[in-house]
Amino acid sequence: MMAPEVCSMYRTGSLGRMLFWVASLGLHKTCLCSSVVSTTDATDDLDQSVDMSTAEWGRTPLHEAAEFGHLEMLRGMLAEANESSVTLVSAPDELGWTPLHWAALHGEEEMASELLRAQAAVDAQEYEFGCQPLQWAARRGHLRLLRLLLDAGASAEYADRQQRTAAAWAKLTGHTAAAALLEASEDSEETSEPHMYSRAERDTDEAEDAMTEADQAYGMTALHVAAASGRYSDVAKWLGASEPTALSSQMSAQDMWGRTPLVTAIQTRKSPPKAALKLLHTELCVTTDHDGRGPLHWAVLAGDLRLFKELRLLNQSQAPPDRFGRTLVHYAAANGHGNILSELLADAADVDVDAKDRSQQTPLHLASARGHAHLVQQLLDRNASWNVSDLLLRRPLHYAAMFGHLDVIKLLMNAGADYFAEDLDGETLERFMRRTPFLH
């Protein structure tokens, strides 16, 4: 066994080698970016390996930056590409995905705005379903992104190979507010009116009628529909008109996904969450949905500290893991909600920071993969294990390297993470980083 001082020197040396390698890799970044818009063959061995890995799937550095949420890197690439960016920004990979598809899928509004300013094609179709970015945004219920794409000229009437419009996808995936707005947009296109969201703002009754019709197929009650609007006035009006004897059953009613009206209101992520608070203070219903998530899970997922604190005041400070084995700490860490993570770690001495989900991943795995450096530090300060492996034998360090988060890599290495650790396939930190040098 190594003496402590030898271990320290070993870790310092490994960290130094890693940072030296990253710095050396940075010298090739400009060449790599220019290789996307040029047919000049790279002469450097490392550049050749990168070109081969990106050419294998037809992916460009812009694809990688858009998929992994690297906004500043995407901006830099667009600036470097300059006049060639029109071709580059809409380049499809072998599956037909463009960078805008990835931004739409993940709800990255700023990233989508940058791509649209660079004239990204809103009508690009991926090859599997023939879906445009608008349909992928609809499948995830990203309302702001839907509005952005529609304003840029995306067509709500376009149907993919399965004859599904964006509104149909929104209905299928349970995003009723998105479905209502998209259906209103389809109507406006037929009459050559402005885009959906401007019309819906002028004619809210029509949008609400569309939402009500859309919700009937999903087992949603009138209170669900009011809660889904996220408007305090709608919820208060319904509660005021409801018979006291029927109130409890309405509050605990579940739709086809097992959601109660309270959970539906939390999912709208309105700020401030007046509608959710009104429901919460009327009658607390802690019924979980079909994924084992209750109001507290969804408050953490939404990053709503006020709702989280209100639930804790009502003796809902803890919640069991959901059906995926994920705890509140998992969700706070994965979604970058440092204020909620602080509350969880500070007030609950028995919180297991190394709890594993069904994939054997801990909160530190998730925070590392998403690049939430401040949360990684919070977890390390609570002695979270940097050495724990998931089902693929991957440690937090592997995920930080995989997605190009250098600040997280430094934190984990300084904490003692093993630079040479291999996953189930024998992959190491260095091998992961060599695959995506344009992220570093």
Region of residue 141 (left: phi > 0; alpha: psi -120 to 50; beta: else): left
pLDDT confidence of 322, banded at 50, 70, 90?
very high
Q: Is the pLDDT of residue 253 over 50?
A: yes
- The predicted pLDDT at position 383 comes to 93
- The predicted pLDDT at position 194 comes to 39
- The predicted pLDDT at position 36 comes to 32
- The predicted pLDDT at position 316 comes to 66
Q: Is the pLDDT of residue 348 over 70?
A: no
- The predicted pLDDT at position 48 comes to 35
CA 353 to chain centre: 22
First to last CA, the chain: 34
Spatial distance between the Cα atoms of 26 and 18, rounded to a whole number of angstroms? 12
Encode pLDDT of 153-203 as tens digits. 999 999 998 888 999 998 887 787 788 888 877 655 544 443 333 333 334
Encode pLDDT of 209-226 as tens digits. 444 444 555 778 888 887
Q: Is the pLDDT of residue 80 over 90?
A: no
In the predicted model, what is the mean pLDDT of residues 219-241?
78
- The predicted pLDDT at position 365 comes to 97
- The predicted pLDDT at position 187 comes to 59
Q: Is the pLDDT of residue 286 over 60?
A: yes
3-state SS, the chain, equals CCCHHHHHHHHHHHHHHHHHHHHHHHCCHHHHHHHHCCCCCCCCHHHHHHHHHHHHHCCCHHHHHHHHCCHHHHHHHHHHHHHHHHHHHCCCCCCCCCHHHHHHHHCCHHHHHHHHHCCCCCCCCCCCCCCCHHHHHHHHCCHHHHHHHHHCCCCCCCCCCCCCCHHHHHHHCCCHHHHHHHHHHHHHHHCCCCCHHHHHHHCHHHHHHHHHHHHHHHCCCHHHHHHHHCCHHHHHHHHHHCCHHHHHHHHHCCCCCCCCHHHHHHHCCCCCCHHHHHHHHHCCCCCCCCCCCCHHHHHHHHCCHHHHHHHHHCCCCCCCCCCCCCCHHHHHHHCCCHHHHHHHHHHCCCCCCCCCCCCCCCHHHHHHHHCCHHHHHHHHHCCCCCCCCCCCCCCHHHHHHHCCCHHHHHHHHHHCCCCCCCCCCCCCHHHHHHHCHHHC
Q: Name the more confident of 410 and 258.
A: 410
Spatial distance between the Cα atoms of 331 and 306, rounded to a whole number of angstroms? 16
Residue with tokens 């409890």: 248
Encode pLDDT of 355-414 as tens digits. 999 999 999 999 999 899 999 999 999 999 999 999 999 999 999 998 888 999 999 999
Residue 225 has a CB neighbour count (10 Å cut-off) of 22
Range from 137-141, 165-169, 197-201, 341-345 carrying the lowest mean pLDDT: 197-201
Spatial distance between the Cα atoms of 225 and 241, rounded to a whole number of angstroms? 15
pTM of the complete model beyond 0.75: no
Letter for the amino acid at 228? A
Letter for the amino acid at 74? L
- The predicted pLDDT at position 188 comes to 56
Range from 312-321, 357-366, 431-440 carrying the lowest mean pLDDT: 431-440
Spatial distance between the Cα atoms of 334 and 154, rounded to a whole number of angstroms? 31
- The predicted pLDDT at position 271 comes to 66
Tokens (6 digits) for 198: 């401007």
Spatial distance between the Cα atoms of 420 and 194, rounded to a whole number of angstroms? 57
Averaged pLDDT score across all residues of the chain: 77
Q: Is the pLDDT of residue 16 over 90?
A: no
Encode pLDDT of 266-285 as tens digits. 887 666 678 788 887 777 78
- The predicted pLDDT at position 350 comes to 75
- The predicted pLDDT at position 317 comes to 65
Residue pair 47/92 in contact (Cβ under 8 Å)? The answer is: no
Residues, the chain = 440
Spatial distance between the Cα atoms of 429 and 417, rounded to a whole number of angstroms? 11
With a pLDDT cut of 70, the percent of the chain lying above it is 74
- The predicted pLDDT at position 100 comes to 95
Residue 391 has a CB neighbour count (10 Å cut-off) of 11
Q: Is the pLDDT of residue 119 over 80?
A: yes
Residue partners of 45: CB distance under 8 A and separation at least 6: none
Domains of the chain, earliest start first: 220-294 (1.25.40.20)
- The predicted pLDDT at position 195 comes to 37
The angle at the Cα of 231, spanning 153 to 107, to the nearest 5 degrees, equals 40
User: How many angstroms separate the Cα of 169 from the Cα of each of 95, 108, 238?
Assistant: 20, 19, 29
